[in-house]
């Protein structure tokens, strides 16, 4: 069923720090097109032909990229923060240009998506939510406002013990001194409205703390890698994409998304969105982050904008990915008619893109049809 499996086309979800693969054999990770001009084309393994390349497109090691003439160019951001300027004139596999050492951004996700629909009538936390924080990072708490509430009681807790409490009249408050939070502890943030309703202490009734703090060692490594991204000859969108991947890779525990810098990733992408970027990949990546921290409505909104931009750019592969992602969220939100519509749209595009004689491509389409039928039966 759709909520039990993971969509593997391009979802970032959790990005992990992993051990480098043996020399000369690059490990599968996350790669993307950081810059592109002119006539550049990409072919993925299951496609029957080449398609136009777009800035922000995520790649796999088996994908081929082809800069067709000297007037064209492409830069691929590799999984170790290095950049590969793709040679002109012939098709190259990504594995031929990207090294296998250093940080590994892994696109897979070992955690199933949460099943909770979410209740915006509760003072449910918006930020920071299921995320790590940098040491001494300013901390502003935001949550869904509740109708008729005159005030909110906000509590930061370690286990069952409050470490800070505050009563406020608006659904926002600054925590005055995040340096008081300890590196070796996990904290919940609980908000109770004057009407008596409260945010859940454990999202989805799972033992997943709301926030943790990076260690000092992780912070120093992070600063070094952020500085490296800043020195790269890339535009603001590409740097923001790289920083978001880096933030999302900085985790204390690879099995728990709340130990990764999800909030920082969302914020660096939000800066580009507020600046007016029309790069669909920025919106899609932020939607992935929102989905990961169980803010499905926000993810849905960003995916819809990403889809509109992908349609404007005539980026069919990205349209298929986003339609599939929207179908998953609609199913998860029990909006089954929309789920059918989205998944059927994805299927129609894949019919044009995929090599239909390939057994793996056939399996992909069969899996998608099963999801469509599953949603249709629930309408």
Helix (H, G, I), strand (E, B) or coil at 372: helix
pLDDT of residue 5: 37
The residue count of the chain comes to 379
| Max Cα-Cα span within the chain | 67
Q: In what order do the strands lie in the sheet with 172-175?
A: 125-127, 139-143, 172-175
Say how far apart CA 327 and CA 2 lie, in whole Å: 9
What pairing do the DSSP bridges indicate for beta strands 64-67 and 40-43? antiparallel
What pLDDT is attached to residue 118? 59
Q: Are strands 125-127 and 139-143 parallel, antiparallel or unpaired?
A: antiparallel
- Residue recorded with tokens 């793996």: 360
pTM: 0.88
pLDDT tens for the chain, 379 residues long, are 444 333 333 333 333 333 233 333 444 678 999 999 999 999 999 999 999 999 999 999 999 999 999 999 999 999 889 999 999 999 999 999 997 666 666 554 544 445 555 566 789 999 999 999 998 888 999 999 999 999 999 999 998 899 999 999 999 999 987 778 888 888 999 999 999 999 876 544 444 458 999 999 999 999 999 999 999 999 999 999 999 999 988 888 777 778 899 999 999 999 999 999 999 999 999 999 999 888 999 999 999 999 999 999 999 999 999 999 999 999 999 999 999 999 999 999 999 999 999 999 999 999 999 999 999 999 9
Beta bridge partners of 91: 66
Q: Decide if 246 contacts 31 (C-beta within 8 A).
A: no
pLDDT at 30: 83
- β-strands 51-52, 91-93 pairing: unpaired
> How many whole angstroms separate alpha carbon 65 and alpha carbon 32?
11
Q: Please tell me the predicted confidence (pLDDT) of residue 107.
A: 56
């Amino acid at each position: 069923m759709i909520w039990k499996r993971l969509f593997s086309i391009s979802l970032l979800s959790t990005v992990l720090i992993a051990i480098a693969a043996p020399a000369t054999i690059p490990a599968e990770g996350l790669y993307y097109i950081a810059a592109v001009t002119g006539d550049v084309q990409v072919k993925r393994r299951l496609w029957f032909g080449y398609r136009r390349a777009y800035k922000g497109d995520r790649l796999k090691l088996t994908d081929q990229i082809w800069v067709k003439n000297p007037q064209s160019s492409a830069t691929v951001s590799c999984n170790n923060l290095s950049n590969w300027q793709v040679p002109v004139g012939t098709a190259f596999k990504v594995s031929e240009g990207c090294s296998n050492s250093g940080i590994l951004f892994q696109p897979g996700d070992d955690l199933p998506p949460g099943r909770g629909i979410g209740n915006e009538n509760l003072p449910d936390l918006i930020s920071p939510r299921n995320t790590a924080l940098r040491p001494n990072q300013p901390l502003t708490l935001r949550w869904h406002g509740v109708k008729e509430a005159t005030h909110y009681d906000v509590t930061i807790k370690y286990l069952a013990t409050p470490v800070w409490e505050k009563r406020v009249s608006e659904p926002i408050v600054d925590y005055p001194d995040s340096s008081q939070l300890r590196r070796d502890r996990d904290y919940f943030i609980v908000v109770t409205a004057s009407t008596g309703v409260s945010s859940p202490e454990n999202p989805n009734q799972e033992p997943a703390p709301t926030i943790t703090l990076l260690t000092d060692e992780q912070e120093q490594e992070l600063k070094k890698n952020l500085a490296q991204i800043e020195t790269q000859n890339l535009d603001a969108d590409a740097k923001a994409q790289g920083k978001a991947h880096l933030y999302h890779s900085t985790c204390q525990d690879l099995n728990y998304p709340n130990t990764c810098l999800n909030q920082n990733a969302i914020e660096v992408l939000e800066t580009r969105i507020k600046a007016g970027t029309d790069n669909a990949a920025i919106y899609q990546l932020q939607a992935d982050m929102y989905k990961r921290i169980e803010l499905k409505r926000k993810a849905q909104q960003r995916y819809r904008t990403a889809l509109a931009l992908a349609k404007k750019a005539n980026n069919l592969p990205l349209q298929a990915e986003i339609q599939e992602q929207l179908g998953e969220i609609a199913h998860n939100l029990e909006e089954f008619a929309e789920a059918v519509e989205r998944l059927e749209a994805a299927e129609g595009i894949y019919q044009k893109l995929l090599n239909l004689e390939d057994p793996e491509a056939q399996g992909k389409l069969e899996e998608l049809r099963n999801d469509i039928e599953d949603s249709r039966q629930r309408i």
